[in-house]
Amino acid sequence: MSTVAHEPAAAGGNALPPAAPGGAAPADGGGTARAVLRRLRRRPAALISAGVLALLVLLALAAPLITALTGQDPHTYHDDLVDSARGGVPVGPLGGVSAEHWLGVEPGTGRDLLARLLHGARISLLVAAGATVVQISIGVAVGLAAGLGSPLLDSLLSRVGDILVALPMLVVGIALTAVVPADFPRPLLLILLIGALGWGGTARIVRAQTLTLKRLDFVAAARLSGHGPWRVARRELLPSLGAPVITYAAVLLPANIVVEASLSFLGVGVKPPTPSWGQMLSSAQTWFRADPMYVLLPAGLLFVTVLSFTVLGEAVRTALDPREASRLAVGTRRERSGRPAGRLNGRLSGRLNGRPAGRPSGRSGAAQGPRPALGPSEPLKSPGPLRPQKKTLS
Amino acid sequence: MRQRSVISRRATAAAAAGLALVTAAACAGPQDGDAQGGGTGGDGKPRKGGTLTVLNAEPQTDFDPARLYTSGGGNVPSLVFRTLTTRNREDGAAGTEVVPDLATDLGRPNADATEWTYTLKEGLKYEDGTAITSADIKHGVERSFAAELSGGAPYLRDWLIGGSTYQGPFKDRKGLASIVTPDDRTIVFKLRKPEGEFPYLATQTQFAPVPRNKDTGTRYEERPLSSGPYKVVRNENDGERLLLERNPHWSQKTDQERKAYPDTIDVRSGLDSAVINQRLSTGSGADAAAVTTDTNLGPAELARVGADKELAGRVGTGRFGFVNYLAFNPKVKPFDDIKVRQAISYAVNRTSVINAAGGSALAEPATTFLPEKKAFGHTPYDHFPAGPSGNPDKARELLKEAGHENLRITLTHSTEQNRQTSPEVATAVQEALKKAGITVELQGLESNAFNEARWDAKKTPGFFLSRWGADWPSGAPFLAPIFDGRQIVEDGSNYNHAQYDDPAVNREIDAINKLTDLDAAAQRWGALDRRIGKLALDVPLFHPVYKRLYGKDVKNIVISDWTGVLDISQVAVK
């Protein structure tokens, strides 16, 4: 990760703005968050992904209502809807699609697939989101501590991180499920398990970023002015870490859905009869020829979700990336289409004018020292600092 | 092949064999049965020659006669190791009979069946041309007592006089005094109690001859000396690939049971079950002459096979003596109340359970503990008629009488995907009991933890899914380990899940064990099963059915009711 410039002034200016929308300091980021949103809105793929995800979350939340509407629930067996002599394959076309069972029924049990998919989405999304939050929290804390702490602490934490990256989660999962009391809620266990074992990557990124940022003037200034590491981390570093962390979270979240799936696949995930996509895929794997619908439905949903997250994550990353801004400003596409960078500048400065005067961003006074030299508090909007940034692309 | 049946007898025996058994029990299941086909395999007379390929999931680990745990000598092992007696290689019920192999007869018991005398046939030879003697059989049995060669069934340790303390011939060179060899062709076994079913036990590979001067201890499994129609030419990765070729010194004249048509048998294991079934159904190249001895068709594959006539004609169907059941531990409340156990028996929906087990083609409803075969002494009964889909009303009524309305219980199961003790079956039971107002909490344990829990008398769960397979087709290895009160094992593998100890039942078990008339014994086992069934200590759920594919060129399919699987020794590929 070397998104940060060598040239202190430019880098200081560039590394920070994306930080504000990073959400670490929402109070500061109003203007830039809007900029990011606007940049996102320019990407149809991002909009579609966000729409799909919103729809999925909505469906998951409304699962009991929808299944009440169809008169089904995810647990009731319908022995008459499967052909026992043929291994329990659903009776009827497309895996038993009917007026009562809109997406057909599960082979072997005759349980309503729509109900199971919707209820499964609740678990899958909840576990994935919860695990991501845990991973990011631990990862950022450990990364910051490693980056700012003594070399000993750094190597200690880094090695722990390395070990965790190498630790096979499935084996640990199996071991844990044998030890953890049976009545411990499984979704929470999964969140903790995936969260506690999956923070290695985040910690590495945060540590690397911290080490780079630490050497920059505004951080040095903050440290020289006597602020302790805690305050430096909170006020100077965290905002700048927002971009990479958010980006990484967008990658982690779909990965966590898959991990939940594979854990449930091995029977160490959620407990039956609670449905989850992973559990459904696990039992569906042998049915791909005899009852394709049974495989395609959970697999398709998982695919769409993971794809949406990935596309949205990528879009957010680009939107947050100062280099993207520079590309927009001086980049090839707009130049070729004959639109000078000035157009963007004009827009940006126009918005800048409307920006309420206040605390420019989450920086300490000390760090703000060099900034006035760059002019307005939003370097992104000024083409000035963007040019040096280009040199730093690597 | 390893039958991996479950079973054990008494405390001492079980303690020693405990570990091996837990593993064996974990794998007990249709993996190792095979199928009954009724000779549908191909047309024309079977001829000698060719190579038979065996595609298996489980490798032939520890291919040493002392270490194999088999029912009736196993499938692949039986090609290499001949035993005193063996199973009758015939289709169906005739296949449950025990017949002489190395011996001239089934053994001659003394008056109370505590002493069994066998005479070896003449002209028996090993693969190197040396003669097989009774001393070799004695050595073969003795070495199975060595700790480093453990793995076999625990009966010998329990039955033979001095068996419980004997350390094996490597530590104790004097040998076991209860096995006597008056001459080269005679061997006498002296038992500490009457055992009318000793001829069944003598089918196990521990009764294969091993010459003392060729015994390399733990390394014997790499190059065991063959007494059967094939010898081991290659053994790679501890039985993952086993290449067998004809043993020139084996003679059909002394062996009426094995046909040995193919010249070569190539056993390849460690394959995924989906791969095995796919290869068998495609049948290209060497796979056309392939069989599997341990892989069932899954429910999804069955749905496909049903639509394909050619494939359907290549499915062997068989029934191994096996039962899947819900076990109660009455030491745990509320299962101490017989009304609760009866209510659950009434509430069970066997249709859902069978669907979870793979559908009606792979499982048949069971209301008796004993498998539905004459050899087991099966006596039909259904003390708590639940019908095909359960009788929740009757269950509610019983619970009300017992004052257990809104009952909440925990069902322990394995997370292993075996369709027997797996989550699918547990969920089907849970759903059926819900209709009777019983809330079932599922407790899924990883398969080793599951076996540890259910076979440990101190922490046996109150209510769990279990299964039992036969070491030989009789009621004895089915009922005695589970309902004989003297088989309750405090430290070690305890299969008496209910810790049921009724002196009258124990006496009856002893009385039946004295019988050497196996048909008479079977009848009494059936009656005993019926009698114990009234106590609702378990809920029989289903007996599995084995459905296995075999290759296009495979002929002479024989599937006995003993193993339920196609017998490799009968198969021809030409």
A284 chain-B contacts, CB cut-off 8 A? none
User: Across the strands, what pairs with B443?
Assistant: B412
Q: What is the pLDDT of residues B344-393, one digit of tens each?
A: 999 999 999 999 999 999 999 999 999 999 999 999 999 999 999 999 99
What does the alpha-carbon distance between residue A86 and residue A244 come to, in Å, rounded to a whole number? 52
Q: What is the pLDDT of residues A26-69, one digit of tens each?
A: 333 444 677 778 877 888 888 899 999 999 999 999 989 988 88
Q: What is the pLDDT of residues B107-149, one digit of tens each?
A: 999 999 999 999 999 999 999 999 999 999 999 999 999 989 9
What does the alpha-carbon distance between residue B353 and residue B370 come to, in Å, rounded to a whole number? 18
For this complex, say whether ipTM is above 0.90.
no
Q: Do A267 and B444 touch (CB under 8 A)?
A: yes
Q: What is the pLDDT of residues B383-413, one digit of tens each?
A: 999 999 999 999 999 999 999 988 999 999 9
Locate B544 and state its tokens. Answer: 């599995």
Q: Do B359 and A88 touch (CB under 8 A)?
A: yes
- The C-alpha angle with vertex B567 and arms to B563 and B570, in degrees rounded to 5, equals 150
CB B3 within 8 A of CB B69: yes
In chain A, the DSSP E strands lie at 82-83, 89-90
Best mutation target among B278, B282, B350, B417 (most A Cβ atoms within 10 Å) is: B417
The chain B residue lying nearest A268, using CA atoms, is: B415
Ranking A366-380, B260-274, B469-483, B544-558 by mean pLDDT, the lowest is A366-380
CB B82 within 8 A of CB B255: yes
Q: In the prediction, which pLDDT does B307 show?
A: 79
Contact residues of A toward B, CB < 8 A: 75-77, 79, 82-89, 107-110, 174, 177-178, 182-183, 266-268, 271-273, 283, 286-291
Please report where in the chains the tokens 């499984």 appear, as a residue.
Answer: A186
Ranking A139-153, B183-197, B310-324, B532-546 by mean pLDDT, the lowest is A139-153
Locate B141 and state its tokens. Answer: 């049995």
The pairing of beta strand B98-100 with beta strand B51-55: unpaired
3-state secondary structure of B57: coil
Q: In the prediction, which pLDDT does A325 show?
A: 57
B306 touches chain A (CB under 8 A): yes
The DSSP secondary structure of A327-365, one letter per residue, reads: HHHH-HHHHHTT--HHHHHHHHHHHHHHSPPS--SS--H
Determine the distance in angstroms separating the CA of B441 from the nearest CA of chain A, rounded to an integer: 9
To the nearest 10°, report the CA torsion of B521, B523, B527, B533.
90
Judged against a pLDDT cut of 60, whether residue A370 lies above it is answered with no
Judged against a pLDDT cut of 70, whether residue A24 lies above it is answered with no
- The C-alpha angle with vertex B51 and arms to B50 and B52, in degrees rounded to 5, equals 125
Q: What percent of chain B has pLDDT over 70?
A: 92
Judged against a pLDDT cut of 60, whether residue B17 lies above it is answered with no
In Å, how far are A85, B9, B103 from A89, measured between CA atoms? 9, 41, 50
Q: Do B431 and A86 touch (CB under 8 A)?
A: no
B354 touches chain A (CB under 8 A): yes
A268 chain-B contacts, CB cut-off 8 A? 415, 446
Q: What is the pLDDT of residues B244-292, one digit of tens each?
A: 999 999 999 999 999 999 999 999 999 998 899 999 999 999 999 999 9
Locate A178 and state its tokens. Answer: 């044998």
3-state secondary structure of B321: coil
CB B184 within 8 A of CB B135: yes
Q: Do B351 and A84 touch (CB under 8 A)?
A: yes
Q: Do B349 and A83 touch (CB under 8 A)?
A: no
Output the average pLDDT for chain A: 73
Locate A198 and state its tokens. Answer: 């999956």
3-state secondary structure of B317: strand
* Residue from A221, A196, A100, A209 nearest A144 by CA: A209
Best mutation target among A77, A263, A280, A294 (most B Cβ atoms within 10 Å) is: A77
What does the alpha-carbon distance between residue B14 and residue B158 come to, in Å, rounded to a whole number? 9
The pairing of beta strand B408-414 with beta strand B439-445: parallel
Report the Cα–Cα distance between both ends of chain B, in Å, rounded: 23
In B27-178, the DSSP E strands lie at 51-55, 85-87, 98-100, 108-109, 115-119
What does the alpha-carbon distance between residue A244 and residue A206 come to, in Å, rounded to a whole number? 8
What does the alpha-carbon distance between residue A300 and residue A54 come to, in Å, rounded to a whole number? 17
Confidence of residue A101 (pLDDT cuts 50, 70, 90): confident
Element (H, E) at B543: strand B538-544
CB B564 within 8 A of CB B546: yes
Return the exposure string of A181-206: e unless at least 16 CB atoms fall within 10 Å of the residue's CB, then b: eeeeebbebbbbbbbbbbbbbbbbbb
B353 touches chain A (CB under 8 A): no
A271 chain-B contacts, CB cut-off 8 A? 442, 444
What does the alpha-carbon distance between residue B457 and residue B496 come to, in Å, rounded to a whole number? 8
What does the alpha-carbon distance between residue B386 and residue B351 come to, in Å, rounded to a whole number? 11
Upstream peptide bond of B334 is cis (omega within 30 degrees of 0)? yes
Report the Cα–Cα distance between both ends of chain A, in Å, rounded: 9
Query: Between helices A292-320 and A322-330, what is the axis angle to 10°?
Result: 70
Best mutation target among A76, A78, A79, A170 (most B Cβ atoms within 10 Å) is: A79
A286 chain-B contacts, CB cut-off 8 A? 274, 298-301
Q: How many Cβ contacts (< 8 angstroms) between chains A and B?
A: 115
Domains and CATH numbers, chain B: 2-264+548-573 (3.40.190.10), 322-544 (3.10.105.10)
Q: Which residue has the higher pLDDT, A255 or B76?
A: B76
A82 chain-B contacts, CB cut-off 8 A? 355, 359
Q: In the prediction, which pLDDT does B249 show?
A: 95
Amino acid at A142: V
Q: What is the pLDDT of residues A115-133, one digit of tens each?
A: 999 999 998 889 999 999 9
Q: In the prediction, which pLDDT does A69 show?
A: 86
Q: Do A89 and B356 touch (CB under 8 A)?
A: no
A178 chain-B contacts, CB cut-off 8 A? 445-446, 449
Q: What percent of chain B has pLDDT over 90?
A: 73
Judged against a pLDDT cut of 50, whether residue A255 lies above it is answered with yes
Nearest-CB residue to A108 (from B299, B389, B432): B299
Best mutation target among B446, B448, B465, B547 (most A Cβ atoms within 10 Å) is: B446
Judged against a pLDDT cut of 70, whether residue A13 lies above it is answered with no
B416 touches chain A (CB under 8 A): yes
B563 touches chain A (CB under 8 A): no
Q: In the prediction, which pLDDT does B234 show?
A: 94
Q: In the prediction, which pLDDT does A375 show?
A: 36
Upstream peptide bond of A273 is cis (omega within 30 degrees of 0)? yes
3-state secondary structure of B497: coil
A84 chain-B contacts, CB cut-off 8 A? 351, 354-355, 359-361
* Residue from B63, B40, B21 nearest B556 by CA: B40
For the four alpha carbons of A327, A333, A338 and A339, in that order, the dihedral sign comes to: negative
Element (H, E) at A162: helix A151-166
Locate B562 and state its tokens. Answer: 């003993």
DSSP state of B298: P
In Å, how far are A285, A292, B2, B79, B386 from B58, measured between CA atoms? 21, 29, 9, 17, 37
Q: Do B300 and A177 touch (CB under 8 A)?
A: no
Q: In the prediction, which pLDDT does B26 show?
A: 34
Please report where in the chains the tokens 């049948």 appear, as a residue.
Answer: B283
* Backbone angles phi and psi of B55, in degrees to 5: -105, 110
Element (H, E) at A59: helix A44-61
B31 touches chain A (CB under 8 A): no
What does the alpha-carbon distance between residue B294 and residue B303 come to, in Å, rounded to a whole number? 20
* Residue from B411, B396, B410 nearest B339 by CA: B396
CB B258 within 8 A of CB B246: no
* Backbone angles phi and psi of A247, in degrees to 5: -60, -45
CB B117 within 8 A of CB B107: yes
Average pLDDT over residues B501-511: 94
Contacts of B18 (CB under 8 A, 6+ apart): B8, B492, B493
User: Across the strands, what pairs with B365?
Assistant: B542
Ranking A82-96, A236-250, B466-480 by mean pLDDT, the lowest is A236-250
Q: Do A108 and B356 touch (CB under 8 A)?
A: yes
Nearest-CB residue to B298 (from A83, A183, A286): A286
What does the alpha-carbon distance between residue B427 and residue B406 come to, in Å, rounded to a whole number? 19
CB B95 within 8 A of CB B88: yes
Average pLDDT over residues A331-353: 44
Q: What is the pLDDT of residues B445-489, one digit of tens each?
A: 888 889 888 888 888 999 999 999 889 999 999 999 899 998 888
Best mutation target among A91, A112, A271, A289 (most B Cβ atoms within 10 Å) is: A271
A293 chain-B contacts, CB cut-off 8 A? none
CB atoms near residue A62 (< 10 Å): 13
Q: Which residue has the higher pLDDT, B470 or B558?
A: B558
What does the alpha-carbon distance between residue B491 and residue B511 come to, in Å, rounded to a whole number? 27
CB atoms near residue A366 (< 10 Å): 20
The DSSP secondary structure of A196-255, one letter per residue, reads: HHS-HHHHHHHHHHHHHHHTSHHHHHHHHTT--HHHIIIIIIHHHHHHHHHHHHHHHHHH
Ranking A228-232, B36-40, B473-477 by mean pLDDT, the lowest is B36-40
Determine the distance in angstroms separating the CA of A218 from the nearest CA of chain B, rounded to an integer: 54
CB B461 within 8 A of CB B414: no
Q: In the prediction, which pLDDT does A322 show?
A: 63
Amino acid at B215: D
Judged against a pLDDT cut of 60, whether residue B10 lies above it is answered with no
Best mutation target among B352, B447, B451, B464 (most A Cβ atoms within 10 Å) is: B352
